A = this chain, B = another copy of it.
Amino acid sequence: MIQSVDRAIAILMELQGARRLRLTELALRLSLPNSTVHGIVATLVARGLVEQDASGRYALGPGVLRLSNVYLDSNELRLRSLSWTESLAERSGCAVRVGVPLGDDIVVIHHVFRPDGSHQMREIGIDIPAHGTALGKAVLAFDPLRAEALLDRDDLPKLTGRTVVDGDALAAQLTAVREAGLATAADESILGESEVAAPIFDAHDVAIGAVGVVTTTSQVPTDRGLLDEVRRTAVTISREMGAASWPPRALLERGVSG
């Protein structure tokens, strides 16, 4: 791992959290001397990944935008999800999201609007702490290493009053997810929003992401039909990605401790 490149990325991540930062603030957060940070941001600015506003503060630049478009267009999971998620949204009447893990978060890489035609925000690109969403729990349940790393933390952010931050409670939920092949979340990331999600596997039986629906908590459907629809969509996409079985037997047996 190259130190300066790693630091450059750390700077980008800081700028992602706090939108505008002074050089001094950046240096403080990274515990690095002022001049060291300056050298790196100067490089990022020269390439357009970062820009400096009139008051000297730094923010992300247009270069990052250019990159993201290409990611969306070339991502295989997203490509193979397009038609199936569309159809899931139509049949369920819910918004559909596909997410992939990144660190301890889930990044939404595809989003089909609820088909009622109402004004909705485009959620592609947003990131949510994995333990606070059904998408995240679906992935964690079938990715022991990732789950373990997350459960070792004792500072899991509490997004709402219902977010599960207790390690034992979360581990129990993941076991249930493994048994059902489905993960749920109610008011755990956004109050009033509930989700159902199922994991997606690739040819190596790795949980590379998840697909799920979002509904308002008050309208959460009680029939099993929706659950089956979500799971079937995940199975279909997994098959397109080359997965042989769903869920992979090996992952079921080992669980988090493996």
Contacts and interface: CB of A to CB of B under 8 A. Distances in A.
A125 B68 contact: yes
Nearest to A10: B47
Nearest to A208: B51
A172 interface: no
Interface stretch (A55-63, A155-163, A220-228): A55-63
| This chain's copy number in the assembly | 2
Given A54-B204, A64-B67, A66-B107, A46 B1 contact: yes
A107 B203 CA distance: 36
A4 B44 CA distance: 11
Interface string A28-49: 0000000000011011101111
A9 interface: yes
A63 B12 CA distance: 10
A124 B66 CA distance: 9
Contact of A103 (B42, B48, B74, B202): B48
Contacts of A124: 65, 69
A10 B158 CA distance: 38
Interface string A235-252: 000000010000000000
Interface string A3-26: 011101100110110011000000
Contact of A15 (B44, B48, B70, B72): B70
A66 B4 contact: no
B67 A1 contact: no
A70 B62 CA distance: 11
A74 B59 contact: yes
A57 to B, nearest CB: 11
A2 interface: yes
Contact of A2 (B39, B64, B74): B39
